[in-house]
Amino acid sequence: MPDPSDPTAGPAGPARPAQAGGCAPHAPALPTAELHLHIEGTLEPELAFALARRNGVALPYASEDELRAAYSFTDLQSFLNLYYALMDVLRTEEDFAELAHAYLARARAQGVRHAEIFFDPQAHVARGVPIGTVIDGLARALDQAPEAYGITTRLIMCFLRDESAESALATFEAARPWLGRITAVGLDSAEVGNPPSKFREVFERARAAGLKCVAHAGEEGPPGYVWEALDILGVDRIDHGVRCLEDEALVARLVADQVPLTVCPLSNVRLRVYEDLADHPLPAMLAAGLRVCVNSDDPAYFGGYVGDNYTAVRDALGLDPTALRTLARNSFLAAFLDEETRAGYLAEVDAHAF
Ligand code: HPA
Ligand SMILES: [Zn+2]
């Protein structure tokens, strides 16, 4: 485990370069909050094979390299097919705790100081894994995160939008005993054809229970889905939201209300929302005054953790230190934090030397 008092300490286990916008080879990473991260999307091939062996699950790939070679996606659905298939190796509380520990160690090496973590209970319950196994396993790791990794965390329970509204409601009721452990609800999976309005009732119920609300919208779906997430679901943040740029009035609304957009640049390229990172509209979004931040989405599948995303946009889009600092500040401004903790993290960002 890293020494949490050392801001440059690496984790135990495999680390990627911790160069979130840094220049010198060993410069400390830019402190960030990661707000768009599917914990099931952090399942690296090595852990997938280890869990498969432990749980007696047969994977349709001969090796880790063969599995990695399958990470060539044409759109969101082609990714989701593999994402749901591979999570079959996650069976026990210990599996979920190990998955979260592996993410936290990698995130710490890349400057993450606060992580708000999505999970997909329906994808596990459908395979016979009780919801309590999922939440207790994740919570066991997250409870250790401040001391072990110097990372504060929140859990966000997502509903699968390609399942029914009734299934989302049943999932919410099944999770009631654990709501004290959950900060927000979210909406993910196949977007097109599954508008936010389908989930009005479960979001009303979540808000009545004191939870925050977020939703994926405007990744592959049209700007109208972002309007629905705002006006029908009453979300506090939009996940992705890049297609808002097609609607001037929507941009004006998002800017006026400073609605955070959790943008995921490497994800957008891997899922062919943009053909090349150089085409990504992040600079235009910043210039428009949108409260955007940078996140990794499903880092095991999309080629990088959050620091890798910062480095990639810096290099491909020519973002200067001022822009990188704004992105990091936005991540903490958008986080579900108490004001004192937020101020501490913002001070860390302001003190960062590029
Ligand atoms: O990028 C994503 N989009 C929608 N649903 C998801 N579930 C995991 N990752 C994603
Ligand atoms: Zn996502």
Type of residue found at 168: A
Q: Which residue among 36, 86, 219, 296 is best mutated to probe the pocket of ligand 1, counting the most ligand atoms within 8 A of its Cβ?
A: 219
Burial track 292-328 (b if 16+ CB lie within 10 A, e otherwise): bbbbbbbbbbbbbbbbbbbbbbbebbebeeebbbbbb
Q: In this model, does residue 190 exceed pLDDT 80? A: yes
Q: Which CATH class is domain 32-336?
A: alpha beta
With vertex at residue 34, the alpha carbon angle to CA 165 and CA 48, rounded to the nearest 5 degrees, is: 75
- Res 27: pLDDT: 76
The set of catalytic residues is 219
Among all bound ligands, the one having the nearest atom to the CA of 158 is 1
216 lines ligand 1 (CB under 6 A): yes
Phi, psi of 103 (to 5 degrees): -65, -50
Model confidence band, residue 219 (pLDDT cutoffs 50, 70, 90): very high
Q: In this model, does residue 15 exceed pLDDT 70? A: no
311 lines ligand 1 (CB under 6 A): no
Report CA(202)–ligand 1 centroid distance (Å): 19
Q: In this model, does residue 25 exceed pLDDT 70? A: no
- Res 3: pLDDT: 38
Q: In this model, does residue 23 exceed pLDDT 90? A: no
Alpha-carbon distances of 267 from 72, 166, 224, 235, 241, rounded to whole Å: 12, 30, 22, 22, 13
Q: How far apart are CA 32 and CA 34, in angstroms?
A: 6
Q: In this model, does residue 5 exceed pLDDT 50? A: no
Q: Which residue among 83, 86, 187, 189 is best mutated to probe the pocket of ligand 1, counting the most ligand atoms within 8 A of its Cβ?
A: 189
Average pLDDT over residues 224-252: 99
Model confidence band, residue 7 (pLDDT cutoffs 50, 70, 90): very low
Ligand 2 being an ion, which residues bring their Cβ within 5 A of it? 297
Angle, helix 306-317 to helix 321-333, in steps of 10 degrees: 140
**Alpha carbon nearest to ligand 1 atom 5, residue:** 189
Mean pLDDT, all residues of the chain: 94
What would the two tokens of residue 215 be? 């939703």
- Res 260: pLDDT: 99
Angle, helix 339-351 to helix 321-333, in steps of 10 degrees: 170
Model confidence band, residue 29 (pLDDT cutoffs 50, 70, 90): very high
Q: Would the pTM count as exceeding 0.90?
A: yes
- Res 197: pLDDT: 99
Is residue 195 within 8 A of residue 217, CB to CB? The reply is: no
* DSSP annotation of 29: P
Average pLDDT over residues 119-128: 98
Average pLDDT over residues 276-280: 98
Residue range 52-109, pLDDT digits in tens: 999 999 999 999 999 999 999 999 999 999 999 999 999 999 999 999 999 999 999 9
120 marked as part of a ligand binding site = no
- Res 8: pLDDT: 30
Average pLDDT over residues 292-319: 98
User: In the 3-class helix/strand/coil scheme, how is 150-180 assigned residue by residue?
Assistant: CCEEEEEEEEECCCCHHHHHHHHHHCHHHHH
Q: What residue spans define the domains of the chain? A: 32-336
Report CA(6)–ligand 2 centroid distance (Å): 31
188 lines ligand 1 (CB under 6 A): yes
219 lines ligand 1 (CB under 6 A): yes
Question: What are the residues facing 291 on neighbouring strands?
Answer: 260
Report CA(137)–ligand 1 centroid distance (Å): 21
Alpha-carbon distances of 306 from 44, 77, 130, rounded to whole Å: 15, 23, 30
Among all bound ligands, the one having the nearest atom to the CA of 73 is 1
ipTM of the complex: 0.95
Is residue 317 within 8 A of residue 282, CB to CB? The reply is: yes
Q: Which residue among 298, 301, 309 is best mutated to probe the pocket of ligand 1, counting the most ligand atoms within 8 A of its Cβ?
A: 298
Report CA(203)–ligand 1 centroid distance (Å): 19
